[in-house]
Amino acid sequence: MSFRRAVAAACGLAGGSALLLCAAESREYFGDNRGGRSKAGVGVLHAAHPSPWAPGNHSVQPSGYGWDNNWDKRDPTSNPRRKERSKEENSSEAENSKPTATRHIFLIRHSQYNLNGNRDREKTLTPLGREQAELTGQRLAALGLQYDVLIHSSMARATETANIISRYLPGVELVSCDLLREGAPIEPVPPVSHWKPEAVQYHEDGARIEAAFRRYIHRAEPKQKEDSYEIIVCHANVIRYFVCRALQFPPEGWLRLGLNNGSITWLTIRPSGRVALRALGDSGFMPPDKVTRT
């Protein structure tokens, strides 16, 4: 049997790019076929030079970073005062301070806006951006959820996006917040050549955006008895940083995530403090010709 046929049989694929891909992977596992052949014609792996991708070396190893249950400093079992009290007092306090509700947080990136303005108030939405906001508002309304609040960045493009969305969510309170303004949260890794803020910008913006994270991204308070659904309209950098922090991923990886204009990112925070990312930058509710990233 030829080398290509043997690879195809092993991988369960045939022809075209799939066969070439499988052949390349087989060479990684079994060695280059020029280095020796078995009776079946597949390259033989030399014991003296084992491949780093050989099956025995291919297991993914744990990162060594565990999940911090008290990441939001709201875990009732982590209260240091509990050690000074009796078991009965601790049991009663834990029961009364234990969260029972789930928070659902919808992070919306603002719609497309005019890039040629010098001042923030001049950077209003484009006609397409207003269409995108309409579509996002329609999508949020179609989910049929009882939203508690609509918080938005105080920058013009986020404020305008929030105002359009609010037309589809009558009765939902609108709240503006300066902490949610766009900025440079932390120096990204790996770096990019087209965007290099000064160190002072990371220092100033990073503290503000982290403060916004601590204010808005946390488990429910014990007094909250019903699940909540909250909308935050802000900016790509802020949302990407929030997602990395909430999932306890390295925050410097935020720039590896991409978000379309008007997209929906859905975080769920359970009473236990567990966090789930239910959607990241969802814009599938928009026609393809309405989707943009700038």
Q: Got the DSSP string for 94-150?
A: HHHH-----EEEEEEE---B-S--SSGGG-PBPHHHHHHHHHHHHHHHHTT----EE
Give the other-Cβ count within 10 Å of 166's Cβ: 21
Whether 180 and 258 map to the same domain: the answer is: yes
Domain total for the chain? 2
Residue 64 lies in a domain: no
Residue 33 lies in a domain: yes
Lowest mean pLDDT among 32-41, 202-211, 225-234: 32-41
Residue 239 lies in a domain: yes
Q: Cβ neighbours of residue 117 under 8 Å, at least 6 residues apart?
A: 123, 124
Whether 232 and 146 map to the same domain: the answer is: yes
Q: Which domain holds residue 124?
A: 102-290
| 173: nearest Cα among 151, 156, 155, 153 | 151
Whether 145 and 46 map to the same domain: the answer is: no
Tokens of residue 136, six digits: 């996002």
Residue 65 lies in a domain: no
Which residue type is seen at 45? Answer: L
Residue 136 lies in a domain: yes
The per-residue pLDDT for range 7-34, each reduced to its tens digit, is 445 545 444 444 344 444 444 433 444 4
In this prediction, residue 280 carries a pLDDT of 98
pTM over 0.85: no
Give the other-Cβ count within 10 Å of 11's Cβ: 15
Whether 281 and 189 map to the same domain: the answer is: yes
Q: Domain holding 200: CATH number?
A: 3.40.50.1240
The 3-state DSSP class for residue 61 equals coil
Residue 196 lies in a domain: yes
Average pLDDT over residues 178-204: 95
Whether 167 and 246 map to the same domain: the answer is: yes
